[in-house]
Amino acid sequence: MFADYTNRVLQDYEQKRTANRLPINLSAPTPARLRDECLIVCRERWQRRDEKTLRDFFDQAGDQAAYLRLIRNCDIDRFRPLSNFLKKQTISTDDKNILLLAWLTGFEPFESERNYDGNSPEDNTEETTAPAESTGQKPEAITGDGIIKNDETKIVATSQPPPMKPKRYFKAIIIPVVLAVLAGVFLYLHLKVQRSPAVMGTVINNREACMYWTGDHYRQISCSQKVYGAQVIALDTEQLVHFKKITRPDTITAADINRIAYIRLNGNIEFYTRMGNHPVYPERNLRPLSEHIYEKHILPLKH
């Protein structure tokens, strides 16, 4: 039954993404963006019934305020399995990730007693025949070819309705076709983006699939190139375009709280445009900008 629910959730997700009805955090779901979207959904449309989904995913119980704090401080690697699954990098994922996706997209919560295969129980009716009236005539019999005969060889033609195909047969055909079409559309759009001539002024193609950190942003290069003092890593278009170091902290505003990231490093504090790992020390995680850090380290720069 949960497998049917999973199919319904994924169909709803793909249809909304194809129709451009999803926020950017879900249409291009990196681990950091999934965490950001959790913060937004928890803050804007929290309901008491959401507690089970969040408890299963985060392994902790709490109210809305507790979950907001938990999500802000959560390691983005917790969202990586769902991100990989939505990007078609894995073929399956844990049930708790499907429940979280349903919560993020506004799909109805899972109910164990409900049937999600898309079919309603068919009404079963039995054919009944009226008892023969006591007219003195002998009972009539129906042959396999629709002819009514009695012992006096009286023959009467009867009409039979044409056999009807069950509804399940139609749905068993149409659902795989719809899924195949959606998968084809997703693959086409994905390849189109990967092969686009320019993204934010950066040329992206399949032959140059690596990048390195320049000090304040990533730059794309061929994987065969070497850069002195820098580590060449696999290309991540999301990081390439959007992940940058903020060299002017005085330009940060209160609206950036919980939207950009920071890290304390070697007695200094650095700010970045996205969550994730530190580009030079990948074992260190960036943290979302808090009100305390903003008031202590940013506001003094504005005076």
- Given this model, what pLDDT does residue 195 score? 53
Please write down the long-range contacts of 268-271, taking CB distance under 8 Å and 24 or more positions apart. Answer: 269/293, 269/297, 270/245, 271/245, 271/246
Going by C-beta distance under 8 Å and a sequence separation of 6 or more, which residues neighbour residue 197? 203
Buried b (16+ CB within 10 A) or exposed e, 136-174: eeeeeeeeeeeeeeeeeeeeeeeeeeeeeeeeeeeeeee
- 114 secondary structure, DSSP code: S
What is the C-alpha to C-alpha distance for residues 130 and 223, in angstroms, rounded to an integer? 83
Phi-psi region of 93 (alpha: psi -120 to 50; beta: other; left: phi over 0): beta
Task: State whether residue 45 is helix, strand or coil.
Answer: coil
- Per-residue pLDDT, 151: 47
What predicted TM-score, i.e. pTM, was given to this entire model? 0.40
The residues pairing with 221 across neighbouring beta strands, listed in sequence order, are 210
Q: Per residue of the chain (303 residues), what is the pLDDT tens digit?
A: 788 889 999 999 999 989 999 999 999 999 999 999 999 999 998 888 888 899 999 888 888 888 999 899 989 899 999 999 998 889 889 999 999 999 999 998 888 778 887 643 333 333 334 444 444 444 444 444 444 445 444 444 444 555 555 556 566 778 888 888 898 888 888 666 555 544 444 444 545 689 999 999 999 999 988 888 888 999 999 999 999 999 999 999 999 999 999 999 988 999 999 999 999 999 999 999 999 999 999 999 887
